[in-house]
Structure 1
Amino acid sequence: MALILLAKGKSLLTLLKFGKFGGALVSMAASIGAYALIYPWGFAIGLVLLLFIHEVGHVLAAKRKGMPVSAPLFIPFMGALINMKRHPADAQTEAYIAFGGPLLGTVGALAVYGAAYYTGSPLLYSLAYVGFFLNLINLLPIHPLDGGRISTAVTRWLWLVGVVGGLAVIIYLKSVLFFIIWAMFAYDLYKKFVRRAKPGEQVRTSISSFLLPVEVLSQQPGFLLPAPDHRRELSFQTFSTLDRVQHVELRWDSLEFRGELELPEQGLIQRTRVAGLQHLHEEDGLHLKLYCEVDYIPFENNLYYEVPQAVRWRYGVGYFLLAAFLVVCMYSVHQVDGFLALADHRR
């Protein structure tokens, strides 16, 4: 399940930097162990693999659109996520990436269903049912679930359906997690369309770190090495590339520092500063590790939701057909499971 709700939690990703896919493997193992506390090992492994296939669908779709993403990160009992390093440029791209997860996830669940039909394994039937169910739930038109993101390219009126229908589904499932997602989505809609957010409430922060060698500078007369508790404003310049990625160049002239970072979305810069620093003694001399923050107000692109009518129809038809197909698949698995249970009873 693509809980992109947690996509902003970059601190979770930094805890697991053991190579590009090391964090994914560690978090997969942790999730399997956690699920195995409740379910059989076979089911735990199969569930995590189905989640992995779903997330790979998002990764492949993002790569096709040239969007940089992280490897999947798994969180026990919550699902999995990928971290998008910048926001899509338009609703069509957002919906395309969102479609990737449930599409490939459905293919994965179908493969398990086929294996279950061939072997008659109750475990595989259970996994297939759960796979179909998770992909169907992800199609709820609630942002930031996949269905909520697909809705941006179909019609945002589906969000209203998600507010009403999503609550009914959550009450039926009795899921605290989905209720939290729904509540955050409903509050976000309230801020956007009922109570417009005040400018101060829109400020977001992008954080980056830079390693600066200062061995030569520290030997110059009159040079003062800033203390770890030093804080200061930074000069900056900002520009956007042709692919609409905004860059911010930071400067600290007395340290001859130039650093550049990418904003995850287009924004109006409010403040740039050093929020902290460390003294590091490396093999090649003294370094400063600077933790820099950029405060910005997201730029509201009025053209973001302008999607060609043909694309709206294509995505809309695909969305509802996929949801209907998953419902049929779940019903089919349920019927087979009932037949197997009846056969066992007659024996």
Structure 2
Amino acid sequence: MAKKRWGGLAVAGAFLLTKGKVILALLKFSKFGGTLISFGVSLLFYAQVFGVWFGVGLLYLLFIHEMGHLLAAKRLGFKTGPAIFVPFMGAVIGIKDTFRTPKQEAILAYGGPLAGLVSLIPLAIGYAVTGNDFWLVIFHLGALLNLFNLLPVSPLDGGRILAGLPIIVWVAGLAALIAYGLTNFSLILLLIAFFGGSAVWKRYKFAKQYEANRSTLMLYRAARERVLLAKAEQERANAEVALAPEVEEEQTVESTYDPIAWSLRLDLQDLRQASPEEARQEADDLLRYQYDAANDYDALLRRIDQRIEPLRLAEESVQYHQMPKKQQTITLLAYLALGAILFIAFEYSKGYLPTPS
């Protein structure tokens, strides 16, 4: 039987390489070409392993789930790409915009499992009307897939929904996933745990970095504003010299005194004195940079920007994950409610599943 299925896959592949070229060419120019092609390829693989109808049912679940993400993205005004199916990995919707708040990320992530819950309704009706176990099996699978997706681990939907909550939520979800993945050995689960662990570590590292360097970041930003002011003063002075009438050489007196650079140095010294102890070393470095750069303010700005950039990324990460308390409560309640309904559907349908003969 297995040989027959894989033989069918080979025949289908040969068709796509010959006669199917015309179809592929037409689909390529279609708005949904990528979706249809990936759907067909996934169906071929699933059909060989699980059978055609099970493959259709699985792709139905994946498609509705991704359409939930798509509708949520459209509601947020995000630009999206078509749904692409990946055999044995699921499906994905391309999001061409960046989340600005954890609330936006939560709304988009919530749309998938919510649509997945809705997708169970036709399956329940189909089972109630026909009594065919096929509908029940796909119903149970849909509840399981969407419930699994609600695990609070990034990059699963659950982790993205709860991105605005304290990091301990991600840690708890990651620990549960690792424990389950080790006791019920699964490479896919451990791979998800790897990505989830990377996300937890990155968020933790940024939080610690920002906490330790908050004063330093404030120092650099204040210094940058002062350097920009000095640069503007220097540019005005240069423009005035260029517009002034030429003076004979014997009347010019060279001077090493630069009032703009000296004023900047005094201001940087004042910044050092006003900075807390943990930022004094960076303030001393700034004074050395200013001395080395002389009146090359662009070079000084580049040095400051190099120091600001990693601290800015840490600050953005911390601020992004700070959702207001009210939004946290609403998000958590919505998450728990959806998870509870899916869990009930999963457990209820499990009791009616046909027993293997």
The 8 Å contact of residues 191 and 197 in structure 1, kept in 2 or not, is answered as no
- Contact in 2 for aligned 1:154/1:313 (Cα 8 Å): no
Match of 2:196 in 1: 185
Correspondence for 1:78: 89
Hey, what does 2:243 align to over in structure 1?
A: none
Distance change in 2, residues 1:195/1:168 (3 Å): same
Where in structure 1 do 4 or more consecutive aligned residues deviate above 4 Å?
A: 194-198, 297-300
TM-score by length of 1: 0.61
How far did residue 114 of structure 1 move?
2.5
**2:167, 2:200 within 8 Å by CA — same for their partners in 1?**
no
SS in structure 1 at match of 2:91? strand
The aligned runs of 1:56-95 (5 Å cut-off) are 56-95=67-106
Give how far 1:109 is off: 2.0
For residues 191 and 88 of structure 1, do their structure 2 counterparts lie closer, same or farther at Cα, with a shift above 3 Å needed? closer
Count, aligned residues:
230
Q: Distance in 2 between matches of 1:91 and 1:311?
A: 10
C-alpha deviation, 1:298, in angstroms:
5.6
Task: Identify if the C-alpha distance between structure 1 residues 18 and 171 changes in structure 2 by more than 3 Å, giving closer, same or farther.
Answer: farther
Report the Cα distance in structure 2 between the residues aligned to 1:115 and 1:27, rounded to whole angstroms. Answer: 27
**SS class of match (1:336):** coil
Q: Counterpart amino acid of 2:344?
A: V
- Structure 1 residue runs without a partner (length 5+): 1-15, 199-268, 271-296
Which of these residues, 324, 330, 337, is aligned with residue 321 of structure 1?
337
Q: Which amino acid aligns with 2:101?
A: D
Deviations 1:207-256 (A, max 9, x none): xxxxxxxxxxxxxxxxxxxxxxxxxxxxxxxxxxxxxxxxxxxxxxxxxx
Q: Distance in 2 between matches of 1:311 and 1:170?
A: 32
Q: Which residue of 1 aligns with 2:39?
A: 28
1:176-234 CA-to-partner distances (Å, cap 9, x unmatched) read 12211211221332244258899xxxxxxxxxxxxxxxxxxxxxxxxxxxxxxxxxxxx
- Under a length normalisation based on structure 2, what TM-score does the superposition of the two structures give? 0.59
Secondary structure in structure 2 of the residue aligned to 1:148: helix
Question: Is 2:139 the partner of 1:128?
Answer: yes
Alignment partner of 1:162 out of 165, 170, 173: 173
Distance 1:196 1:90 in 2: 17
Select the structure of larger CA radius of gyration. 2
* Closer/same/farther in 2, CA of residues 333 and 195 from structure 1, 3 Å limit: same
Cα offset, 1:103, TM superposition: 0.2
Distance of 1:185 and 1:179 partners within structure 2: 9
- Could you tell me which residue of structure 1 aligns to residue 351 of structure 2? 335
Counterpart-to-counterpart distance in 2, 1:192 and 1:57:
27
SS of the residue corresponding to residue 144 of structure 1 reads: coil
Paired with 2:332 and 2:199, the residues of 1 have a C-alpha distance of 23
> What root-mean-square deviation, in Å, do the aligned CA atoms of Structure 1 and Structure 2 show?
2.6
- The equivalent of 2:128 in structure 1 is 117
Contiguous gaps of at least 5 residues in structure 2: 1-26, 210-304, 307-311
What residue is the counterpart of 1:46 in the other structure?
57
1:86 CA displacement? 2.1
